Amino acid sequence: MPSSEHEDDEVEELHGIIEEILEENGKDDTNTIIMGDWNSVVGDESCRNFVGPHGLGRKNQRRQMLINFCERNGLIVTNPLFRKPKRRLYTWTAPGDRSRHQLDCIL
């Protein structure tokens, strides 16, 4: 997924490509798992039935884009559905271990 330095249009374009793949494979007929670096921090706030309350950190601006994508496609961000120790939540560490983020998501 494009980083926060890229325009939101580039993220939406990639969401569109993924949606086309889902449509081709019949998203209603199969269970689909999508994993990867979404560069989206969903944080520790639940959101309807799309994001659970056990994430890491504060949400970022790409959170809502990911939630909208999940809503359109019947997907759920599964990482924050389950309570885990904080040391097991982060998926990316900044150089020098200055900060830790949960950027990778399983939908």
SS3 68: helix
Q: What is the model's pLDDT at position 66?
A: 92
| Confidence grade of residue 90 (pLDDT, cut at 50, 70, 90) | confident
Residue 63 near residue 50, CB atoms below 8 Å: no
User: Residue ranges per domain, the chain?
Assistant: 8-106
Q: What is the pLDDT of residues 22-33, one digit of tens each?
A: 888 766 667 888
Q: At what angle do helices 63-73 and 8-24 cross, to 10 degrees?
A: 20
* pLDDT mean over 47-62: 87
CB 103 within 8 A of CB 39: yes
Region 43-67: mean pLDDT is: 88
Give CA separation, 87 vs 52, 55, 71, 101, 103, in Å: 18, 12, 29, 11, 14
pLDDT above 90: residue 16: yes
pLDDT of 59 strictly over 90: no
